[in-house]
């Protein structure tokens, strides 16, 4: 993830949009992986595939 390291080093000079991407990436890396919970927040969601591939 060279791009992330470079972005962190130059964070103050990034656009607000780029900062949001860096922040979101860092947040996702710090979250524990829970493969049983859908992006909608429901554990063992029957529509998890659709939510993941089509959006929620």
Q: Domain limits at 43?
A: 2-54
Region 39-49: what's the mean pLDDT? 88
Region 36-45: what's the mean pLDDT? 86
CA separation for the pair 24, 51 (Å, rounded): 19
The pLDDT assigned to 18 comes to: 94
Q: What is the pTM of this model?
A: 0.54
Number of domains in the chain: 1
Give me the sign of the Cα torsion angle 34, 40, 46, 50: negative
The pLDDT assigned to 31 comes to: 64
**Number of residues in the chain:** 56
pLDDT of 55 > 80? The answer is no
pLDDT of 33 > 80? The answer is no
């Amino acid at each position: 993830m060279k791009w992330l390291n470079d972005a962190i080093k130059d964070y103050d000079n990034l656009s607000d949009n780029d900062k949001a991407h860096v922040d979101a990436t860092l947040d996702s890396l710090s979250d524990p992986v829970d493969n049983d919970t859908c992006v909608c927040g429901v554990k063992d969601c029957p529509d998890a595939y659709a939510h993941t591939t089509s959006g929620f």
